[in-house]
Structure 1
Amino acid sequence: MYLERLLKNPMDVTAGLWRHVWFQVGVVVAVSIAAGMLVSRDVPLWLFFGGIAGIVVVAIAFIKPEYVAAALLVIHWGNIHDVLIKYHGIPSVVKLMVALLTVVLLARRFLSERPRGLVSDPVIWWMLAYLVVGATGLWFARDTDAVLSRLVDTAKDGVIAGLIFNLLSTRAAFERAVWGLLIVGAVLSALTVYQEMTKTYDNNYWGFAQAAVRQISTTMDDRARAFGTVNDPNYFGQLLLVLVPLAVWAILNGRTWRGKSFGMAALLLLLAAIGLTFSRGAYLGAVVVLVVYAMYLRLDARYLLILPLIGALLYVAPPEFRARFGTLDEVLPGNNAGAYADSSIQGRSVKAEVAIAIVADNPIFGVGRGNYRLHYRDYINEIEGAGSNTERDAHNLYLEVAAEQGIVGLVVFVGLLATVWGRLRAAELLFVAAGERRMADLSVAVKVGLLGYLVTSLFLHGAYGYMLWLQVGMAVALVVIAQREAAAHADHAVKASR
C-alpha cells in the first residue's frame, strides 16, 4: 500500500510521513542507535558517513531517480568510482547505484498504479545483437574466461546505458547531467593543469591527477604525461575530448553569463589538460571536433574571440607539446622513415598487421573477445622486424573488433554505431521541427563528441569501453526527449489551429 503510494506520489507521501511526530522520533532514534553502534565498534568514518549518504541516495532514488542517474553518468564517466576503490578502499559506488536504480526502474514499471513503460529503441536491438555475436566466442575461443569477462562487462555497460535513457528522459534531467559532466571534466582538468604548473608530478592528488614519465618524441627527452583518473594518458585525453563540444555548447547556449563563462573556462581547461596528456590521437580528435562543430554552427564573428585564448594556451604550452604534435606527420602515408623512427608508431603498425592477419585466418567470427592478446604471441614472430613474444593489444578499436569477433562482429558493431549516429540526427531534426534550437545544438554536440571518440579509437582499443556505452545511453535519451517535445509541439499546434 505505502510502496504503491510512494511510487505514485513520493514527495507527498514523504512529506506526510515527516509531519507525524512518531516518524520524526523514529528517524532520530534510528540514526542515534546506528551512530552509537558504529562509534563503539571503531568503524571507519568513511563507512559511517557513507552509510548516511547511502540512506540519502536511496531516498532520492525513489523520489527523484533522475538525480541519481545523472550522478551515475558523471561518476562513471570520470572513472571516479575506480579511484575511490584503488586509492581510498571505498566499495564501487557505481555498482550500488546501478542496483538501486534498477530496482527503482522495475518498481515504477511493475508496482506503480500508473506503470511507466520502458524505452524501446532500435539501438537496443543492435546492443543485444552485439552481445549475441560476442557470445559465439564461448564455443571456440582459446580463453573462454576472457570472452565471458568481456561479455559481462558489456552487459553491465548496456544496463547502465538503459538506466540513462530511461531516467534521463526529460530536458531538465539531461541538461543537468551535461552540466555535471562539464563540472567533473573541468575539475579533473584543473587538477592536471595545477599539477603541471607546480611540477608536482609525484603527487597524484588523491588519485584524481595521476601522471607518469612517458616518451614524447625521438628528439626530446621523456617527461611526465597526465593520466587523470585512468591508467593511460591516451584514454584520459579521449575521456576529456568527448566533453569539448559540450563545453562549446555551454558557451553558446548558457542561459546566463555565469553559465557561458563556466563553459569558456571548462573549454580552456579541457584543451589544456588534453595537451598535457601528449596524446597524438587526442590532438587529432580535438582538431576534428572543433572544426566539425564550427562548420555546423556557422559561428558568429564575435565567437572568433576565443581564438586568441586558444592561441595564448599554445603560447604558454610546454615545448614538449609542440614536439609531440609535430610527430603527427609521421603517421601520414608515404612517410615510412618517420613511421619507423618512432617506436610507438612502429609498434602500433605491427599490432595492426597482426590484427589483419588474424582476420584473414578467422574471417567469420574471429578468435573470441579478449583473445587478441593470446594470438598476438603466435603471429608476432612471423612478421618481419618483430622481436617480441609478449602479449599486446590491438591499439585500434575497429581492428580489435574484427580480429576478435570477425566480419560478422564488425558489421554489427558498425551497424550499432551507424544507428546511434542516425538517432542523434533524428533527435536534432525533431528538435528543430519543434523550434528547440538549444536542444538541437546539444544533440549535435553529443554527436560531435561521439565523432571525437570514434576518431581517437583509430589509435586505441576498447580498454575503457564504458565511454562508448554511456554515449549510446545519452543518444537514445536525446531521441526520447526529442520525440516527446515534437509530440507536445504538434499537439499545441493542433489546439492553436482550432
Structure 2
Amino acid sequence: MSLTHWETPSPRWLIILFAILAIVIGALVGMAVGISPSVYLLFAVTLFLVIVLLTIANLEFGLLVFIVLTYLRVSDIAVHNYGAPSVARIFIAILVGAIFLRWAVTGHLPKGWLKPAVLVLAYALVIFGSILYASDIASAEASASDYWKDGLITILIVALIQKKSTFRYVIWALILAGIFVASISVYQYNTGTFDNNYWGFAEAPLLNIVGVTEGNRVAGPIGDPNFYAQILVVLVPLCINRMISEKRTLLRIIAGLGALVITLAVLYTYSRGGIIALVFALIALALYRPPRLPMVGIFVAIVAVALLLMPDAFLDRMGTLTNVLSGEQDTRSEVSIRGRTSEMLSAWDMFIDHPILGVGADNYPVNYQTYARKLGLDNRATLREPHNLFLEVAAETGLLGLLIFGYILFYIFQCIHRARLGFAQLGDPQFLDLIGAFSAGLIGYLTAAMFIHGAYPRYFWLLAGIAMALPQVLQTQKEALIKE
C-alpha cells in the first residue's frame, strides 16, 4: 500500500529538520544505552524514534501507527508491565505538533473537525463539571483526566482522515491489529498456555463459566473477556467486507483468515454479550449488503462446526442466556445474571434520584452498595459497575449528559448515513459497502455496550472519530472529481 505524502516543504527546510532529528535521535539512543545496556530497550527506543521521524514526514503513516497502538493498548501494557512512560501521550503530542507544523509551513489546516470538537467539548463540560458535586471527587477527577485524552483522540482522527484512501488504510490498520491479538488468543486457548500473557497481549483470567464451574477466558490486552469481545466484534464485519471486495487475492485471504481467528477469539471469551453483539453486527452487515445464499450456507456451516468444537462449559454458559431470554430461567437463579440485574436496576435508581446531573463521573461504584441493599439481589460487598454503558451515562451524568451523549451517537450515524448517500450518488458501491461494514461493526460495539459499562472509553472515541470523519472524506472526493 502506498501512502500519500504530506505536502513537500522546501528542500533546505527539510534538510535542516532531518539534521536536527538525527542529532536528537543519536542523543536519545546514547542516553538509553547509558541508562540500561538492554538490547531490547535500545531497539524499542530506536524503533520509536524512527516512527516519530516518519510521522513528522508523513502524518498519514503516524495516524495508522497511532490507531494500531491504541487498539492494541501498547501504551498501557508498556506502562503497567514494564514501567515505561506513556507512549500514547507522547504520540498524541507528536501528532498535534505535526499538524501545526504543517499549518505553519504550508498554511494548510484539516477540515471538518469543528463540529466534532464542539460535541467533545460539550460532553467534557459535563464530565469536568461533575467534579463540583461528586461524592468521590478523586474518581471524578480521574475520569476527567482520562476524558480529555480520549476527546482529543477523536478530534485528531477527524482531522487526519480526509480522504478515501486514508479511511481504507485505517480499516486495514484495525483489521491487522485484530488479527495480531486474536491469533495470539486462539493459539493461547488451543495450547492451554494461560500462564503466559505473551508480553501483555493475551491475558486469560480464571473466571466463572456457569454455576460453580470456572475456566480460563481469553481477554487479550484488556484483561477482561467481555470488553475484549466488544472490540473484536467491531472487526468481523470489516474482515468479511474486505474478504469479498478487495481486488488483490492476498488481501482477501488475509481478511478471510482475520474473520476466522477474530470470530474464534470472540467465542473463546465466553462472553454472552459478545456473542449477542456479534449476531447483531452480522445482521446489520447483511442488511447493508444482502449476502448470496451460498455464502450464508457456508457461514452457517462454519459457525455450526465451531460451536460443536467448543467445550461443554461454553454451551452450558450460552444455554443460561437462552433460558433467561425464553423465560425458562429466572434471573435470580444465576449468579452472574442476578448480579447484573442488581447493577442495572441500581443505575436506574441513581438516575431517578439525581435526574439532572447524576451522581458524578465514575461515581457509580461508590454509590452502588447503598442502592443494591434496597434491592436485595446482590450480596457481594464490593465496588461494582452498572454493566450498561447507557445506564452508566444516565446514572453518572444525568439527563444533561445523556442528551449530549445521545446526540453524539445520533451525529455519528448521521455522518455514516450522509456519507453512504453521497458515495451512492457518486457511483462508488465498494466504498459504500465499506462504510456499511464499519457501521455494522459499530452497531455490534454498541450492542455489547448494553451489557458492559464504559471502562475502556478510548475505543468508543476512536471509532467515533473515524465515523465523524466520513463527511469530510465525501467532500474531499467530490472536490477531487470536480478538479478532474
TM-score when scaled to structure 1? 0.89
Q: 1:294 aligns with which of 280, 283, 286?
A: 286
Q: 1:155 aligns with which of 135, 143, 148?
A: 148
Q: How far did residue 307 of structure 1 move?
A: 3.4
1:145 aligned onto 2:144: no
Q: 1:180–1:382: structure 2 CA closer, same or farther, 3 Å change rule?
A: same
Q: How far did residue 358 of structure 1 move?
A: 1.0
> 1:81: which partner in 2?
75
> 1:363: which partner in 2?
355
Q: 1:12–1:267: structure 2 CA closer, same or farther, 3 Å change rule?
A: farther
Q: 1:206 aligns with which of 179, 199, 207?
A: 199
1:179 aligned onto 2:178: no
1:363-415 per-residue CA deviation (whole Å, 9 max, x = no partner) reads 11111111111111222222234434432111111111111111121111111
Q: How far did residue 183 of structure 1 move?
A: 1.2
1:329 aligned onto 2:326: no
Q: How far did residue 302 of structure 1 move?
A: 4.3
Larger radius of gyration, structure 1 or 2?
Answer: 1
Distance of 2:16 and 2:459 partners within structure 1: 41
> 2:216: which partner in 1?
224
1:250 aligned onto 2:249: no
Kept in 1: contact 2:339–2:377 (CA 8 A): no
Distance of 2:24 and 2:478 partners within structure 1: 48
> 1:416: which partner in 2?
408
Kept in 2: contact 1:78–1:229 (CA 8 A): yes
Distance of 1:226 and 1:42 partners within structure 2: 34
SS at match of 1:223: strand
Query: What fraction of aligned residue pairs are identical, expressed as a percent?
Result: 29
Kept in 2: contact 1:186–1:270 (CA 8 A): yes
1:470 aligned onto 2:469: no
SS at match of 2:217: strand
Q: 1:382 aligns with which of 356, 367, 374?
A: 374
Give the count of matched residue pairs: 479
Distance of 1:157 and 1:301 partners within structure 2: 42
Q: 1:189–1:11: structure 2 CA closer, same or farther, 3 Å change rule?
A: farther
Distance of 1:329 and 1:237 partners within structure 2: 19
Distance of 1:297 and 1:274 partners within structure 2: 23
> 1:460: which partner in 2?
452
Distance of 1:31 and 1:213 partners within structure 2: 43
1:197-233 per-residue CA deviation (whole Å, 9 max, x = no partner) reads 1111112122211102111122x72111111111211
Kept in 1: contact 2:25–2:49 (CA 8 A): no
Q: 1:86–1:35: structure 2 CA closer, same or farther, 3 Å change rule?
A: closer
Kept in 2: contact 1:213–1:225 (CA 8 A): yes
Q: Please, what is the CA RMSD of the aligned residues? A: 2.6
- Please give the residue correspondences for 1:246-325 in structure 2 after superposition, counting only pairs within 5 Å: 246-304=238-296, 305-325=298-318
1:57-89 per-residue CA deviation (whole Å, 9 max, x = no partner) reads 222122111111111111111222222222233
Kept in 2: contact 1:434–1:489 (CA 8 A): no
* 4+ runs deviating over 6 angstroms: 29-34
Q: How far did residue 136 of structure 1 move?
A: 2.6
Distance of 2:217 and 2:232 partners within structure 1: 15
Q: 1:397–1:425: structure 2 CA closer, same or farther, 3 Å change rule?
A: same
Distance of 1:145 and 1:261 partners within structure 2: 49
- The runs of 5 or more residues in structure 1 that have no matched partner are 1-5, 493-498
> 1:3: which partner in 2?
none
Distance of 1:323 and 1:388 partners within structure 2: 24
> 1:434: which partner in 2?
426
Q: 1:180–1:155: structure 2 CA closer, same or farther, 3 Å change rule?
A: same
- Please give the residue correspondences for 1:476-495 in structure 2 after superposition, counting only pairs within 5 Å: 476-490=468-482, 492=484
TM-score when scaled to structure 2? 0.92
SS at match of 1:449: helix
> 1:101: which partner in 2?
95
Report which stretch shifted further, 126-135 or 391-400. Answer: 126-135
Q: How far did residue 468 of structure 1 move?
A: 0.7
Q: 1:117–1:74: structure 2 CA closer, same or farther, 3 Å change rule?
A: closer
SS at match of 1:210: coil
Report which stretch shifted further, 126-135 or 155-164. Answer: 126-135
Q: Which amino acid in 2 is paired with 1:378?
A: T
Kept in 2: contact 1:268–1:310 (CA 8 A): no
Q: 2:47 aligns with which of 53, 68, 74?
A: 53
Report which stretch shifted further, 6-15 or 353-362. Answer: 6-15
Distance of 2:57 and 2:149 partners within structure 1: 24
Kept in 2: contact 1:381–1:389 (CA 8 A): no
Distance of 1:149 and 1:40 partners within structure 2: 35
SS at match of 1:461: coil
Kept in 1: contact 2:77–2:200 (CA 8 A): yes
Q: How far did residue 162 of structure 1 move?
A: 1.3
Q: Which amino acid in 2 is paired with 1:68?
A: G
> 1:69: which partner in 2?
63
Q: Which amino acid in 1 is paired with 2:52?
A: V
Q: Which amino acid in 2 is paired with 1:346?
A: R
Distance of 1:151 and 1:352 partners within structure 2: 23
Distance of 2:110 and 2:187 partners within structure 1: 47
Distance of 1:46 and 1:13 partners within structure 2: 35
Report which stretch shifted further, 280-289 or 174-183. Answer: 174-183
Distance of 1:308 and 1:243 partners within structure 2: 21
- The runs of 5 or more residues in structure 2 that have no matched partner are none
